[in-house]
Amino acid sequence: MMTITLSDPDTGDDLEVQLPSRKCVCPTCEGEGYVLNPSMRGHAYAKEEFDDAFDDEQRAEYLKRGGIYDVVCETCNGRNVVDEVAEDQLTPAQLVQYEAWCESQRADAEYEAVCRAEREMGA
Ligand SMILES: [Zn+2]
């Protein structure tokens, strides 16, 4: 079972809903348990720049999973799997709640992206 929290559309209160879940391979690290350090992800190295910034040994570390530039995956905390809502096992009522939750997650992510863009612009 997995607990999701959504706000009640009528009262605005937080509602905790238990939904059936299953384990799935972590989509963030693809089951590795490690991801490239977020401070380095986001930065796409040009070939020359990459050659410039790293020597051979560092380059090998950069490209290797679990190397010195990797950090424990924060999505699964290194467990390689995450709980995923078993959508095919939801009752119709649960499905409505789950879809509302997905919608709010998307809205949160968009809001976050806007905030981040504003921060980068120095707002
Ligand atoms: Zn992971």
Distance 48 CA to ligand 1 centre (A): 30
Average pLDDT over residues 47-53: 76
d(CA 112, CA 114): 5
Distance 74 CA to ligand 1 centre (A): 6
| pLDDT at 89 (0 to 100) | 96
Distance 72 CA to ligand 1 centre (A): 8
Distance 31 CA to ligand 1 centre (A): 6
Distance 43 CA to ligand 1 centre (A): 20
Is residue 61 over pLDDT 90?
A: no
Is residue 40 over pLDDT 70?
A: no
| pTM passes above 0.85 | no
d(CA 73, CA 117): 24
d(CA 20, CA 25): 17
Confidence of residue 93 (pLDDT cuts 50, 70, 90): very high
Is residue 104 over pLDDT 80?
A: yes
